[in-house]
Structure formats: C-alpha cells, structure tokens
Amino acid sequence: MQAEVKQTDQEVKHAEHSEFVSFTVAGQAFCLKITQIREIRRWSPVTILPHAPADVLGVMNLRGAVIPIYDLSARFGLQQTEASERNVVIVVSVHGKPVGLLAESVSEIISINPDEIQETPPVDSRNTMEYIQGIISHDDTMVRIINLDAVISAPEQVML
Amino acid sequence: MSGSIQDTFFEECEELLEATDEGLTAIEGGDHDPEVVNAIFRAVHSIKGGAGAFGLDDLVAFAHRFETVFDEVRSNRLDLDPKLIQLLLRSSDHLSALVEVARDGGEVDEAHHDTLLAALDEYIPEEEEDLTFEPMGLGGPAAAPEVIVPQEETYRIRFHPLKEMYGTGNEPFFLFQALKDMGELTVTLDENELPGFDSMDVSDSYLAWDLVLVTKEPRSIVEAVFEFVEGLCELSIDGDGDAEAEANALAALDAMFSAPPVEAALPDPAPDTAADSASAPFEPPAPAPEPEAKPAAAEDKASAPKAESGKQEQRSGPKPTLRVELERVDRLINAVGELIINHSMLAQQIANLNVSDTRDVETELEGFKNLARDIQEGVMAIRAQPVKPLFQRMARIVREASAATEKTCKLVNEGENTEVDKTVIERLSDPLTHILRNAVDHGIEKPEDREAAGKSRIGEIRLSASHRSGSVCIEIKDDGAGVNRPRVKQIAIEKGLIPENAELTDAEIDNLLFAPGFSTAKEVSNLSGRGVGMDVVKNAVTGLGGRINISSTPGKGSTFTIILPLTLAVMDGMVVSVADQTMVVPITSIVETMRGSDDMINSLGADGTLLSIRGNFVPICDVAGGLGLYRESDQQAGVYLLVETETGQRCALAVDDIHDQRQVVIKSLDGVCGEIPGVAAATILGDGKIAMILDPESIIAASPTAAAFDTERRMSNAS
C-alpha cells in the first residue's frame, strides 16, 4: 500500500519535472536535457580533421558512423581542453545527426521543475548569451542549460 | 497517400517513356516490326490512363493524340516515313517533357506543344478521333483483333459474389461499369437471398445480379472483366453467339495470352488469389476502365502492395525483379562495410592474442573474409544498373540540340548494358547532357560545311560505355570539326587564363576548355551557353572520383573520355602515415612510390624542393604541411608518392611512411563537416580508427611549392 502511494508521488513528480544531466566544462557546471543525450563515452583519441577550427577536435568512429567531436570548452570561448582518458564524450543528436561533445566529467542527473529555470541575465558576451538557454540553481551552484541548436549549427555551416 | 500513388505513377511513366524511346529508336533504325509499334502504343496508352487518374489534362490530351497516330500506324493506315518518325520522336520527347512538368512543376513550351499537336492532327482522320477511347483489351498483335468482324451479341450474365470477393476490395460497380463501356447493359438486382434484418450477417454476401449485355465485343473480353474475381463469385455467362464467334473468341484469347498485358492498372487480386495470378503472369487484361474509374483502381493498387511487384514482374519480361527502396539497399551496404571492417578488427585482435597455434582460427577467418567479400559484391551488384536509360535520355538531348542548331546529328550508343553504380548514373546525367550539347553546338559542323569537307551531312556522335580494369570508361566521340585550337587559345588569352606569349602543347590547349570561366561560343547561344562551362562538367566528374580527358584531331572530331570508379563505396587505397596520423591515398592517383634519400632532394629557391627521379625533377609537396598538421615526433617525411594530376603535371607527395595497400570503405564526410581542402572522404581502419582519404589533386593545388612550380614551368615555356 505504502509503496503504491510512493510510486504515484513519483509519477506526479515526473510529469512536472524534466531530467537533466549535469557535467563540468572548464570547471563550470552545465547541463543538457536527458532526452537530448544518446550516450556518454569515455574519451579516446580522435582523428584530426585538417584545417579544422580549434573547437573541432576531430572525428570519431561511433559504430561505423563518422561523427565530429567538439570541444565544448573552446566552443564557449573558454580555454581549450587537454583531452585525456578521464574526460567524457557526450553524444547528442543535433539536426538529426550524431555529434560528440567533449566535457571534463559528468556529474549527476538532476530533476528540474521548469519553474526553477531562470533566464540568463544579460552579460557582455554574445556567445554566452546564445549558447546558454537559462540557468538553474542546484545545491547552491549555478548550472547552465545549454542551447544545443545554437552550439552546433546546421551541418552546412559547421565549418569554414 | 495520394502522393505515394502519384510517385508510383511517375516511376512507371519513366519506365514507359523509356520503352517508348527504345521502340522509336528501333523504328528509326528501320525495324518496323508490328510488335514494336504495339509496345509503344501500349506504353503511351498506359501513360494516358495513369495521367487521366490524376487529372493531368495536358498530358492526357497529348498522349491521346500521340496514341491515336500510333493506332493508325498499327492498323497499317499510316506509313512510317522518315518525316513521321521524326515527328513521333519529337512527340515522345515532348511527352517526357510533359511528364516532367507534371511531376516537378514548371512551364510547358506552349508554342511547341501546339505545333506538335497540330502536326499530329494532320495524321489523324477526323472520324477516328474517339476510337482509342474504346477498351484496349485486345492490344495484342494487331492482326488478331482486326480479323474479328464486330457483331452485336447478347450475353446473359449471372453474377453472385461470395463474401470473399468483398474482402479483396473488389467492387461490383466497377465491373459493371467496365461492361457498360462495351455496349448496352441492363442490370437487375436479385435480392431474394437477403435475409431478414435480424438474421443478417453484415460480413456476408447476399446480393446477386442478373445482367444483360449487348455488345460487339467477343466473349473473351466479357469474360475478362471477371478475370480478377474468378473463384470469388458464382458466375455464368450465356451468349447467343454461334460457334464461329466462339472460335474467333478463342483465337483472340490465344493471341492475348501470347501478348504482354496492355492494362495493368486494374485492381489486383488480393493475397489469396495473388498466387494464381503470379503463376500466370501473362493474363489477359480486363478491358480498360475509362479514366474516371481509374482513381479507384489506383487506390486498390496502393492498398495491395502485391499488385506492384506482380506488375513489375510482368513488364520486365522473363526476369523477375523486385522493386526495393534505395534506402534499404544503402543500409545493407553500410552493414556490409561494417562487416569488412569488423573482420579486419577481429584479425588484428587475434594476432594480438599471442596464441601459438592460430592456424585453425586463421582458416576460418579467411572463410569469413571471403564470405564478406561475396556479400559485398552481391550488394554492390544490387546498386549497379545498366547505363541504357541514361543513354536513351541522351538521344533526346541530341535531337533537341540538333533541332535548335539546325544541324543533323545522330547518336550512336554502344555498351548500353554496362552496369554502373546508381548514384554514378544519376550524377552523370548533367555532365553528359552538357558534353553532348557542346558536341552538337560546337563540334558538329553545319550540313553544308560537312558536305564541303567531304563528310556525310549527318553528324555522328558516338556514346559508349565499357568496363576497363576496375573502372568504367564513358566516351563521347563526335566526328565534327575538332577543337578550334587557335580560337581556344585566343579566348584563354583574352580571359586572362594564360599569358599572351604562352606556348602550349595541343593537349594543353584542349584542356583549357575545362578551365573555369572559359566559354568558346561567339555569342551565347541558348543551347550550350547557359552560364556553365566545361569546368562544371569536370567538377562533376571529379566529384564522383573520376577523371575526364579530351583528345581532338582538327577536322576529324573530338573525344571526351570519362573514367569513373566502379563503385563509390569501396576503393583501393595506400595506407600511409602523415604527422602521426594514418591516412589513405587512392591507388588510382599514384604512379609510383619510392623511399627518398638526401641526394635526391634539390633545393630550388628559398622554400622549393625538387625530387630527382631518374634525371627528371618533380616538385615535392609535403602532405603534412599542406594539411596544416605538424609533426610531434622527429620523424621526417622520407617516402614519396609520385602522383599525376589531371593536367599531366607530376608531383611527389611526401609522407612519413607507407604501411599497407588495401580496400577501404569510403565514408562520406558530408554532414559531418564542411569541405576540407586536401581530404576527399574518410574510412575506418582495422583498428576502428578513422583515417582521412586524401585528395592528391587538391593537396597539390594548395601546396605553394607545386603551384609555384607549375606557374614557373608555364612561364619558362612561354619565353
């Protein structure tokens, strides 16, 4: 009986809340909606793409598909990540194509009530404003919600 | 839903138009076999029928006129003289154009449309105008229907469908309508079996009909109406005809069994009878329902996918075929590519195991490899298609181009059955069109000039395809005037493509045609001068991993040769390492490989280095530098790949090491990233790592040394 009640509670909670995966990039906390993430992999050396911009690390073999890997930190205008075994690649699907995003490490899954999401306060960086959809406070730290469509533009304009 | 049916219609139209073209080409070549004429007639008729269902009035009207003329030819009332053949060819082209307009939108050339209609009308006797709207069921050999003297007959038909018939989507109304189209029909409903409302089973069949039909059609045609409901109804047909009529009907029936079907757009039998119809693919078709009955037929067709495959089977003759979505084949190709990669990964893992006796495993692995190769070849073969349809379309281009330039040309096709990857065929269409237009516009001379030069008035363009050691060779050869070299050179100088005092070899001048921004037409004709030059053709061909060359003899003509890889999915590559990265260079572009020593390298100027090969000096192009990579280790580029570019220029690509030569599966980088200079595509190696497939041509173009050397050479030639 008790268990049943508990489950209903959880269901209600599910309906209201969205789940986000939080991770760190260059020491800052970011998060992505869990439904946007296809898988999370350990970093392994990638194949360099010649003439690629600094935030494109290269390409990786994901079960036979060639997917580009972006350095989120460099993309956000932070310092370039020295990728190592400890880092993770978050595979997301943007514009119908899989894309890998290099992050320092994945932290946890957090449940967020849409009401908790605050608008990004205006700061003097257009990149930041574009890439960040909103912010939330979680355990007294600020977690930035990434606007994936802005971070990875349509395939035609990815490079050059 | 209607979209997909319409797609099917257009797909069929394409096949039918091909058949029409093929038939007309045969007739043009002197083959006046009545069966050829019949085949064209049937194809045009099917297009008309389908177009009617979709309300494509222009198409229907034109197809009808076209078909009527063919009917005249079929019944030997018209002679196939060259003038008529030309008209028919032009009409067939216009029919294709109309289909294209119906499918893709756009404008019909009204003036042309009206001219052709008027020209066709001249061949149509007034009173025959509506003849072709009669059922075409007897579309067999022309002789058979003609011998039957039409005689009014009365048939008493008792038709009682079983409930299964309704389950297959057949509808008595359409059957009756088909009958009504043959003559006078009286329908009486017999509802005696209808039970009381309480005991009625909604899924059962209680109704029967008594029909009286007065028609000139033979019994076989009447019977054919019920063809598809055979076994699904209780049916009796009583005619009052005599034995002679019966015999005639039988003869007609025989004729039909030996002839391919005319109308396939009828509701196909549902699954339980599909087996029957499949075992007898040449069933006589039922009389064609009038266009207004077609939409229902088309719907039935869509709801019963079996109808599709069955029909396909019928049209392509003895070889059964299967129509498969391209995407499914591509998925299979990808999977096979994975399988091959997986095999090499497995082999590498086993080698790493340090097991002393791996012989057994290796034998099995070898078998695995062979099987994988077999599957791969099989899958590739699915994508391969003969170039015939493409070549046939080209005949139309040549006809149109000839008409526009008032020249007479004929296109001779060779090696039409050469099979090439579907994508290659699709992407070859534009370049070929352009080359052929050019050949007619610039290559072939005016008939008077040809006569003066002692050639036949009719220009000949030969389009041939053949397999040549792992690649496909397509040749376009005209017997025209050849490249006007002084003029080409003058234009190149005017456009600033070459210095004024440049001295070029004949081959170099010919290749100027491919230079961007080059166009020889004195005034921009509306034919080939459409703002695109031969450089676009060249780009399209190189985009397919191929090469294009031109050779020309003044007064004798020019030949364009296009060499293409057999498939776009797999290629032979040399695995090299460049700045700690593994990369693949296409074997086709490599002339020779060598390990260099210091004394072979000569400096030229501050940065330029030349490699001496048996007394010849070729510029060295450092691949790592060209790609913007730097070496972390001390390893120096010590191995040279001698490659040759389109223009015949040689260059030594400097790489760190050569590892292996193997077949690699090409993975496109489209959608992964934009175009990368120097990189053509990517592949996955045995260790699961991705390697870039290099494009030597663009590496050299980007390399300052080689590019500079090229200019220097031109300049030194010039002085």
pLDDT value of residue B249: 52
Mean local confidence (pLDDT), B539-568: 81
* Arithmetic mean of pLDDT over chain B: 74
Which A residues in the span 51-80 are in contact with B, Cβ-Cβ below 8 Å? 51-52, 56, 59-61, 63-68
pLDDT value of residue A40: 92
Query: What is the full per-residue pLDDT of chain A (160 aa) written as tens digits?
Result: 444 445 455 554 455 778 899 999 888 899 999 988 999 998 888 888 888 888 888 898 887 788 999 988 888 888 777 778 788 999 998 877 889 999 998 988 988 888 888 887 777 766 667 788 888 888 888 898 988 888 877 544 444 3
Residue B246 pLDDT > 60, yes or no? no
Q: Is A117 on the interface with B (CB under 8 A)?
A: no
Distance CA B696, CA B653 (A): 8
Q: Do A47 and B692 touch (CB under 8 A)?
A: yes
Q: For residue A155, which residues of chain B lie inside 8 Å, CB to CB? A: 670-673
Amino acid at A158: V
Bridge partners for B543 per DSSP: none
CB B170 within 8 A of CB B293: no
Percent of chain B whose predicted confidence (pLDDT) is above 90 = 1
Residue whose structure tokens are 């269902």: B53
CB A74 within 8 A of CB A54: yes
pLDDT value of residue A23: 92
Task: State the maximum Cα–Cα separation within chain A, in Å, rounded to a whole number.
Answer: 63
Rg (CA), chain A: 17
Q: How confident is the model at residue B567 (pLDDT cuts 50, 70, 90)?
A: low
Residues in CB range of B214: below 8 A, 6 or more apart: B152, B153, B154, B155, B183, B184, B185
pLDDT value of residue A102: 92
pLDDT value of residue B266: 42
* Residue A111 in tokens: 């449940």
Q: Do B674 and A50 touch (CB under 8 A)?
A: no
Exposed e or buried b per residue across B401-429, where buried means at least 16 C-beta atoms within 10 angstroms of its C-beta: bbbebebbbbbebebbebbbbbbbbebbe
Which pairing describes strands B639-644 and B547-553: parallel, antiparallel, or unpaired? Answer: unpaired
| Nearest-by-Cβ selection for B628 from A51, A97, A156 | A51
Q: Extract long-range pairs of B327-336: CB within 8 Å, 24+ residues apart.
A: B329/B379, B329/B382, B329/B383, B332/B379, B332/B382, B333/B379, B333/B380, B333/B383, B333/B569, B334/A64, B336/B372, B336/B375, B336/B376, B336/B379
Distance CA B282, CA B258 (A): 7
CB A77 within 8 A of CB A127: yes
Mean local confidence (pLDDT), B278-282: 42
pLDDT value of residue A89: 93
Residue to substitute from A41, A44, A49, interface B, most B β-carbons within 10 A: A49
Mean local confidence (pLDDT), B52-60: 80
pLDDT value of residue A21: 93
Mean local confidence (pLDDT), B544-569: 81
Q: For residue B629, which residues of chain A lie inside 8 Å, CB to CB? A: 48, 50
- Output phi, psi for B180, to 5 deg: -60, -35
| Nearest-by-Cβ selection for B627 from A50, A60, A67 | A50
Bridge partners for B661 per DSSP: B574
The full set of domain ranges for chain B reads 2-133, 145-315, 326-384, 387-565, 570-718
Distance CA B136, CA B129 (A): 15
pLDDT value of residue B648: 66
Which tens digits make up the pLDDT trace of B378-396? 887 787 888 888 888 888 8
Q: B92-101, B157-166, B233-242 — which one is most confidently predicted on average?
A: B92-101
Which tens digits make up the pLDDT trace of B12-35? 888 888 888 888 877 877 777 777
* More confident of the two residues A23 and B589: A23
pLDDT value of residue A69: 92
**What is the ipTM, given to two decimal places?**
0.76
**Any alpha helices (H) in B325-409, and if so which ranges?**
326-352, 359-383, 388-405
Residue B134 pLDDT > 50, yes or no? no
Q: Do A64 and B629 touch (CB under 8 A)?
A: no
pLDDT value of residue B470: 62
Residue B282 pLDDT > 70, yes or no? no
CB B404 within 8 A of CB B526: yes
Q: Is B463 exposed, middle or buried (0-12, 13-18, 19+ CB in 10 A)?
A: buried
Residue whose structure tokens are 């792992």: B470
B632 vs chain A: nearest CA distance in angstroms? 14
| Nearest-by-Cβ selection for A61 from B669, B679, B690 | B690
pLDDT value of residue B622: 83
The full set of domain ranges for chain A reads 19-157
Q: Do B682 and A66 touch (CB under 8 A)?
A: yes
Which A residues in the span 3-42 are in contact with B, Cβ-Cβ below 8 Å? none
Exposed e or buried b per residue across A44-63, where buried means at least 16 C-beta atoms within 10 angstroms of its C-beta: eebbbbbbbeebbbbbbbbe
Residue to substitute from B334, B673, B679, B687, interface A, most A β-carbons within 10 A: B673
Range in B67-81, B217-231, B550-564 with the lowest mean pLDDT: B217-231
Mean local confidence (pLDDT), B634-655: 76
Q: For residue B628, which residues of chain A lie inside 8 Å, CB to CB? A: 50-51
B109 vs chain A: nearest CA distance in angstroms? 36
Residue B318 pLDDT > 60, yes or no? no
Same fold: B387-565 with B570-718: no
DSSP annotation of B284: P
| Nearest-by-Cβ selection for A47 from B338, B581, B675 | B581
A47 vs chain B: nearest CA distance in angstroms? 6
- CA nearest to A69 within chain B: B672
Mean local confidence (pLDDT), B456-468: 86
Q: How confident is the model at residue B248 (pLDDT cuts 50, 70, 90)?
A: low
Q: Domain B387-565 belongs to what topology?
A: Heat Shock Protein 90 (3.30.565)
CATH architecture classification, B570-718: Beta Barrel (2.40)
Q: Domain B2-133 belongs to what topology?
A: Four Helix Bundle (Hemerythrin (Met), subunit A) (1.20.120)
Q: In CATH, what number does A19-157 get? A: 2.40.50.180
SS3 letters across B249-267: HHHHHHHHHHCCCCCCCCC
Residue B414 pLDDT > 80, yes or no? yes
